[in-house]
Amino acid sequence: MGLSDFYQLRAHQHANTEGVIQTDHKVWQRPELQRHVLRKIDGTKNEVQLLIDGVRCNGCVLFLERVILQSSGVKEIHINALTRRARVVFDEAHISLTDLLVVFSKAGYNPRPLDSASLNDSRKDESRDLLKRLLVAGFGMMQAMMFALVIYLGPSDEINGPTLDFFRWLGFLVTSPVVLYSAQPFFKGALRGLRGRELNMDVPISIAVALIYGASLFQATQGGAEVYFDSVSMLVFFLLTGRYLEMRVRHRAMDSTDALARLTPAWAERRDKNGDYEKVSVHELQRDDIVRVPEGGHVPADGLLISQAAQLDEALLSGEAATQHKQRGDALIAGSVVLRSPIEFCVTHSGADTFLATLASLATRAQAMRPRLAQAGQVAATRFVIRVLSLTVITAVTWLLIQPDRALEATLAVLVVSCPCAFALAVPAAITRTISVLAPRGVLIVQPDAIEALATFDRAVFDKTGTLTLPSMSIEHTHEGVSNDEALQFAASLAQASSHPLSKALIETNTKPLHHTDSIGVEVGNGIHGFINGDFFKLGRAEFALDISSGGIKDEAIIEDTVLSRNGKLIATFRTNEALRYDAIDAVAALQKQNIQCNILSGDSDARVKRIADMLNITAWSGRQRPADKLARITAMQEDEHRVLVVGDGSNDAPVLAGADISVALASGTELAQAQADIVLCGGQLTGLVDARRTALQAMRILKQNQRWALCYNLLAMPLAALGFVPPWLAAIGMSTSSLIVILNAMRIGRQYSSKAAQPSSVPL
């Protein structure tokens, strides 16, 4: 796998350059590994999801984004300080993945392409590093307090001046590792924040630690009575305790979405040329490989089932708890769990191209992006730090004038007790928790701003075909001597160029091999055209497919049907048979109960749209709507100051999804529709939209609670500290507790959810 470079790295000494992470990224030059972590976007553009070790705050984010964007070929970057996720879009013609990782390393951070191994390694490294620093701080604090006890007792016959000096220097010795090693994350965070021209929460903490340590050292050299080595050790210990607890809660909050990246196994059993099975890395799987999966194993790639039948668990992928029964030829999704006897399947997509990788990428993209609320919170936190530093100066000057011996303690208490991180963490904690809660339920948040919009929209617009209903196709009439099977064969050959639900239904209905097509094209909202065996075929609306000038439309009834023409002449009509999604009635009723007006905008005939609208008790509906017509309706609603949510499925919905205030696409929809959507319903269940809105409303309530708590805490604690009522060690406990309360409160989001029993996917009309 190209990992021999690791041993070369260990065999040779590398010069340590300050601020540079010495990591060999050459292993990522291998195509097998790149295929696993890179997603092709357009042309030479690639997207990679990274875990960035060392990111502490938004100061790190601003600095990194500025540095990376200066690199040639980098088009886009989003980093989330709380989740430490980064999404980078780059042009491989100008910069390679290896070179991109080197740029991160030179900036002083360690990037890891996101997969299950990097997730585990990152968590282990972070936990191990923080735990070691915490243990050193705890040991140093206990020893410093023992030595300080002697000093507090004061001079006596047994304890004279030289003995007190000796214990002061002992306190210095045990405190130095605490300050120089355990407190290092705070100093690094402060330096990175200042380098990024931002005042973060580590700045006042670092000033306080350095000030206490420096003042105590000065007092020790002068033989002064007041040294605070025990206080600075306690301060660092309590702050690290709070940070360690925050880390544990953060890891727990990310478990749900990180589980997506862990579903793909590291190894697969691939059939070789002799018919035997060999164990290979999942990175080596190629299209058309035959793979065997044992009972209880995870499917390593997307593919088609070769075995006669299979039973799979896709709960973590779609939120559907019921066992999925598959027959030969059915599609399998990477990450599914085989419940019974071993199966064989043929690989169709592997690496970053699988459905699972796409879901994980969308989830990570959401975690990497900073919503508007978070940006506003970070600005408020920066302003708050400026006010804290100003109040610190005022406190120091005032106490020096009134009672100089208490100036240091009051000044340190103000620096430490303030908690700008509570402001900065309120939004990211709520957003991250909401994304993690909804992911296992089959609701994938692609744009974090959608959470706020979910709680405020008052209009819901649904497409019909493929969204409220599941279509199937049947032959209505054939002409020009074409048989039913031939008509289906021609139609399915054209339909393979589109991912529209009707196209999928045609392909599923056809049983014959597909024809080769030339010059095939798709006209959104109209249909598909192309050449088959030298004849020009059109499939779609009657007015699109038929040559009107030659009298093509003679039967008004076919206007409602899907039409196939050859050289402008009608050869077949197809009737659409639809089944209402089983949860459509419940989802629409739940939204209407919340005073949300539901609308249907469909390209189908008025009669069919009215029938569905009556079943769902929807009074606002329109048929024969082209994409431009739908977009005009959405724009009119927005001009009337309504916030509009659009649910669609199919490429013709992409413009409408892009124009909505918040857009939702079903996972069965086209890639274009999902790319435009803010939310993806992975299980194809419309009730997931109701769950998402309920969770979003709770998230916004808790977010406001956290913001009010942060404000009240600081308004109460800072005056008390400035007046000298709060010692530095108590200030450290208060500051850490304040941040922890914000995160723990955010963890309440989604706990009241109760799963529903599995239901069939549709009910016939």
Residue 64 one-letter amino acid: L
Q: Answer whether 127's CB lies under 8 Å from 247's CB.
A: yes
pLDDT digits (tens, 9 = 90+) for 480-523: 778 888 888 888 888 887 767 777 778 878 878 888 888 888 88
Specify the pLDDT at position 10.
36
| Coil vs helix vs strand at 518 | strand
Who contacts 167 (Cβ-Cβ below 8 Å, separation ≥6)? 147, 148, 150, 151
Q: Whose CA is closest to 18, among 98, 105, 132?
A: 105
pLDDT class for 693, splitting at 50, 70, 90? very high
**Would you say residue 16 has pLDDT above 60?**
no
Provide the residue count of the chain.
765
Rounded Cα distance between 335 and 349, Å, is 13
What is the per-residue pLDDT for 598?
92
DSSP state of 404: G
Task: Read off the pLDDT of residues 22-50 as tens digits, 9 standing for 90 and up.
Answer: 456 777 777 767 766 777 777 778 888 78
Centre a 10 Å sphere on the Cβ of residue 522 and count the other Cβ atoms it contains: 20
Residue 503: both structure tokens together? 């196209």
- Tell me the residue ranges of DSSP E strands in 625-716: 644-648, 662-666, 679-681
- Tell me: the pLDDT tens digits for 194-227? 776 666 667 777 887 887 788 778 877 876 656 7
Query: What is the DSSP track for 191-230?
Result: HHHHHTT---THHHHHHHHHHHHHHHHHHHHHT-S---HH
**Residue 12 in this model has a pLDDT that exceeds 60:** no
The whole-chain average pLDDT of the chain stands at 77
Terminus-to-terminus CA distance in the chain, angstroms? 54
Q: How far is CA 190 from the centre of its chain?
A: 27
Q: What pLDDT is attached to residue 226?
A: 63
Question: Partners of 112 in the beta sheet?
Answer: 51
CA 39 to chain centre: 15
Q: Do the domains 4-113 and 267-353 sit in the same CATH topology, yes or no?
A: no
Q: Which CATH architecture has domain 469-579?
A: 3-Layer(aba) Sandwich (3.40)
580-591 average pLDDT score: 88
Beta bridge partners of 279: 269
Domain boundaries, given as residue ranges, for the chain: 4-113, 123-259+364-433+702-746, 267-353, 469-579
The CATH class of the 267-353 domain is: mainly beta
- Rounded CA gap, 250 and 82, in Å? 8
Q: Summarize pLDDT for 91-107 with one digit per residue, the tens.
A: 888 888 888 888 888 88
pLDDT at position 718 over 60:
yes
pTM of the entire predicted model: 0.61
Strand partners, 647: 462, 664
Alpha carbon 449 to chain centroid distance?
A: 12
| b/e map 271-304, b = 16+ CB within 10 Å | eeeeeeeeebbbbbbeeebbbbbeeebbbbbbbe
Interatomic CA distance for residues 150 and 645, integer angstroms: 69
CATH of the structural domain 4-113, one choice from 3.40.50.410, 3.30.70.100, 3.40.50.150, 3.40.190.10: 3.30.70.100
3-state DSSP call for residue 258?
A: helix
Query: What is the Cα–Cα distance from 311 to 179, expressed in whole angstroms?
Result: 57
What digits encode the pLDDT tens for the residues 353-389?
A: 777 776 666 666 655 555 566 566 556 666 777 777 7
Q: In 512-556, which ranges are E strands?
A: 518-523, 527-532, 535-540
